[in-house]
Structure formats: C-alpha cells, structure tokens
Structure 1
Amino acid sequence: MIPRLEFAATQPVHDALRAVGRTEDIRFSPDNRLLVLAGFRRRLCLVLGVRIEGPAEDPRVTVHDFLELVSPGIGLVHGIDFLDDRTIAVGNRDGQVALFTLPVGELGGRRFQAEPIATVPGSLTRWVRSPGSVATWQGEDGVRRLLVCNNYIHTVTGHVLGGPDGFRPARASFLLHRGLRIPDGITVSHDGRWIAVSSHATHDVKLFDGSRNLGWRTSPAGVLRGAAYPHGLRFTADDRRILVADAGEPLVHVYESDGDWSGARDSVRAVTVLDSATFERGRTDKAGQTNREEGGPKGVDIDRSGRVMALTCQEEPLAFFSMASVAG
C-alpha cells in the first residue's frame, strides 16, 4: 500500500466528511482552491476549500473549510465537473444534469441552498437518461461542451453549451455507444483529442479519438485492460498517463503511452490505496453478502499542480496521495 498524505483539517471539516456517506466522483477546481465530492445518498455536493503546498516529493494538503451544496436539482449525485472556477455540472443518476454557480467568498462551514442556472433534463424520451459521470471542456473554437455518461442505456451524449452566459444547453447528440456497457466514468485529455470512458460491465476503459467525427457507430480506438470494475479516471497533465480507480479492487491502475492511445494496453503499475479491512468492509452489505463490484475507490482526480492524487469511496470519503508515489 502506498503511503497516504495526512491532511490538516478543522474538526468541522472532519465531521462533514464523516457525514457525507456514499461518495462517487471527485473534482478539483481549475484554480486548485476547491475540491468537490459527490454525496450520493445524502443528495448533496460537499465543497471543500483546499490548499496544496510544498515540493512534489512531499506535498502538504490543508482542507480549511467546507460547504454542503443542496438543491432540488441535486438528487443521487454521481458525476461532477467544473466549467470554470465557480461553475459546476452535476450528473444525477435519478434524473437530470444540472449546472450551478458556487457562492463567492468563504465557504463558511454551512449548508447552501441553490437553484440550477441550467439543466439538461432526463427521461425516457429525452437525450439524457440515468446520467452518471460528466466531463466538460472548452475547445479551440471557444465553445464549451458537456459529455454525459448515460449509464443504463450505455451511451455518452454530447451537449454544446451556449447562450448569454455560455452555460445553456444549445445542441445535443448521441456521441458514443460502441463497446460501452454501463459507462461509469469519463475524462477528456488536456489537448482535447482523447475521450476515455470506463465501461463497467466489460471491465475495461475505452478510448475514442476526438480528432475524428464521433457518432453512434464510432468504434473505440484504444482499450485499457486489467481493471475489475473501472470507475473514475484522469489523464495526467502531459496526457501520457491515465489513472483508473478500480471499484472492485483496492487499486488505482496506471497506464502509459507516448500520447497516442490507440490499441490495447495493460497497466504499467497498480497501486494499493485501501487497506484490506477497509476494502472488505466496503464490499460487504448489511446481510453479510459480498458485492464484488464494490469496496474499491470510486472517484479519482489529480490536483492542477500535478502533485497530489485525491480519491474517494464509501468507506474512505477522502484520501490524498503524492503523485510521486503513484507514478513510481
């Protein structure tokens, strides 16, 4: 097991983390000042104020404040991503994708009721159904785009955002489908070329080449093998590594390329991030039955300085590791 980074935090922050319950995705803000966790069962987003200091070999993490974001637009929240430093997209398994503006100023250790500034509704007859993880990015053309994993219809939809504030859903399409069976995590490379999608039921990660015209019939260009139940995933800043959280094992897998993610590849490294007792507790239900699809890490992210990996799961709402220890 690689060593954790012990983080400094106030007692109210520790209490908020203990109370958040089952977590899913996790995401740092672009300015690296906030970290948001998906509080799935409690139907909230836990927004944390963070500071990361020190050298890459020995970074120091402080979690100094928190805010519980609640809203009629937040249900069984699974996916989170930032559109800018204060605007987030939230994917709710039981309904819609909603966009929120976080309050300006101190988080203040409080519960904050918010209304969505925009929504992408979900139903049997609309584009979005059972939305989970989401990813956003802004292309060279300046247009913001939102990708949504629709878990139980096995698709990724693409949504162009526009309007006066740039956050209103303007156009949608079925973007990806082939090779996906319960798409459970998604990330886009920093150069915008590669879209990586965790495919839960096929036990792998599919990579799609965004330099091509994507559509319903587009086949994956690459595949990452070896994870039992891949969930959260992230590219490193140079787009030459991908970290994959394995919900069915106490592991984060590390994959490498020269920047071209075509073809099939196995992980070059798998690091243990949960001790055996925590892992077994997370995969055992109240009746004492083992669920082999659970217990491991769910959400994973890399801070914007590239020094720290953050992860979350039901039994460990928040843990930090140095990227130096992850990469080896």
Structure 2
Amino acid sequence: MEILLRKAKIDYELTVLVVILTIFGLFILKSAVYSENIEVLFKKQIIWDLVGFSLFILIVFFNFNSLISYFPALYVFSVIMLIGLFFFGERISGAIRWYNFPVGSFQPSEFAKISTIGFLGIILKNKGLKNFILSMIVMVIPAALVILEPDLGTAIVFFIIWFVMIWVGNFNKKYIMGVILILSVMIPLFFFFGLKDYQRARILSFLNPNAYKYNEAYHLIQSIRTVGSGGLSGRGYMRGPSNLYGYLPADHTDFIFAVLAEELGFLGTTSLIILYLLLYFKIYRIFKKTVFEEQKLIISGIFAMIAMHSIQNIGMNLGLLPITGLPLPFFTYGGSSTIFFFLSLGLIHNISVKLQ
C-alpha cells in the first residue's frame, strides 16, 4: 500500500481557520506570560505551534488508509506510556501526568486521545455487541489510567469521545441506553466513594462558590470576576489588572480565556467563540462529504475532543462548569496538547483534501 502521495492539495478554509486561531492564541498568551516575566514560555509556544502546523500540512501527503493501519499499535504504545508514568513520571502538584525530558515535558494522555480515536474508528466500523463491548474496553483502559494520575477531566473526555463515536456509528440504541442506565447508578457512587477529596470539593465549590471562596473556589471566583471586569471591549491589550498583578491564577494555562475576556471584553470572547463555531461547522461539512465509515467515525471523535476541550474550558472560566485542567485549543500554553490538536485536525485535513 502506498504510504506517501506524490501530490496533495490544501484545504484553504480549514488551514486559514487554524492559522487565525493559532495567531489569536499567541496574541493572548503573549499578554498572559508578560505579566509574570516568563516570556520564554511564549517563545517555546511559537516553536510548538510551528512544529504542529508543519505536521498539520505534511500529513496530507500520507495515504489515509496507511495512517489508520498504525493506530492499533499506537494505541498499545500510548497505554504503555500511561502505565509508565507511575514508574518514571514526574509528580507535579500531586499529579503524575508528565514525563520530564531534557528538551521539555511530555503528557502521554494527549497522545492517548488521538490514538484511541483512531483505534475506535477501526473497531466501530463493524457493528454488533462484540465490537460495542470491545470499543468500551478500549476507551476504559486509558480513561482508568488517567483517573489514577489523577486527571478526571481527561477521563471524561475519553468517555465523551467514545459516546459520540458509538452514536455516530448507529449502534443499537439498546446498547446505548444500557450504558446510560449503568452510568446513572455509577456516577453517584463514584462521586461519594471514587473521587478524591479535592475533586469532590471542586464540584461542590462550583455549585456553591461562596461557601468555598477562600480555598477550592478561589480560582473560580477570580476567573468570574476577571471575565466580568472586561465589559464590552475590555481593559486593553496587556492592561488587564487581574492578569498584570497576579490576581488571576494559571493565567497562561487553565484561565487564559479569562485573560482574553478581561483585555478584549465581550467583543474578544465572542470573536473566539465564532471562530470555534466556524471550525465546528467546517469539520461537520467534511464529515457530511465523506462516505467512508472509518473516516466519519474518526472525524466525529476528533470533533468531540476539540468541542469538549473548548466548551469545558470556556464554561469553567465563566463559572458555568466545574474546574478541570483541560486546555483551550490553540490558546493554552503547552507542547503536548498543541501538537496533538494540530495532528488531530491534520487527519481531518487529510480526509478533506482527498474529497476535493
């Protein structure tokens, strides 16, 4: 099977959206790190964006069927890397989520998301209870491992990806209803007996911030205040008091959306949301055009991942959802997430150019 293609086109609509989101993200990150005098992070992010964008373009030159044939092996490798964290990973703030290398850190859960999507795409193209159960096992293994790190937010992403893919795959609705019934029993049990104290406190603080305003809800309250202070047009670029004077925690990671809201206001945040909606719509159009089951499934999984990240991150910054560590695509500082967001959209890019 031919792995490399001699010629490949470019989907200019998708590429322009990705470029605009990337530049917009760097624009806001520059302000977020400027306040803390750690502009070296901004320079690193530029490098990661360039690497990621290069992969986004280069991947269109590969044969899609050849690419997906590697996903079972990549999935196994990603699971091994997740297991290896408990022996060789670096513990930061009580969590073991990263490998620390001389050139930087690596978060294998980001790799596991895309490898799981690809493997599920292969499994779910064939219907039936056997494949439904196998797909559930494939999802549960990395989800369980990231829960142990602990990283509940990422575990939920794995479940959302799987659920969207089985729904798109038109599996027997009795299977899906069975999962929903099981979850309706397991979620309350998991909340009281499976969550760590700080995870449970985060959820409770989200429901009643004032009762936890000096501890678990501090980040949430600061984010809500920062977002609200931006008004219609914001305080001005690099002029947000909460950002500049350190009142907003994790401003270049979890709460970079609040930086955007404070400095560019409602107009800036609305612009970002419109860009995400345009990206979702573009992905949907590609999904509708392709006739191949594996491609539809993989596109739906990637869509679920990106949508979940953006909706959850924006929601928690607005106080509408509990706080998790999910990065905002193309905005949050981080190499692993950045590169794998580009790679995931690169797969969709690959599918799109073959449809032209």
Structure with a larger share of its residues in helix: 2
Q: In proportion to residue count, which structure has more strand?
A: 1
What is the TM-score of this pair, normalised by structure 1?
0.29
Higher Cα Rg, which structure:
2
TM-score (norm 2): 0.28
- Compare relative contact order (CA 8 Å, sep 6+) and give the higher one, 1 or 2: 2
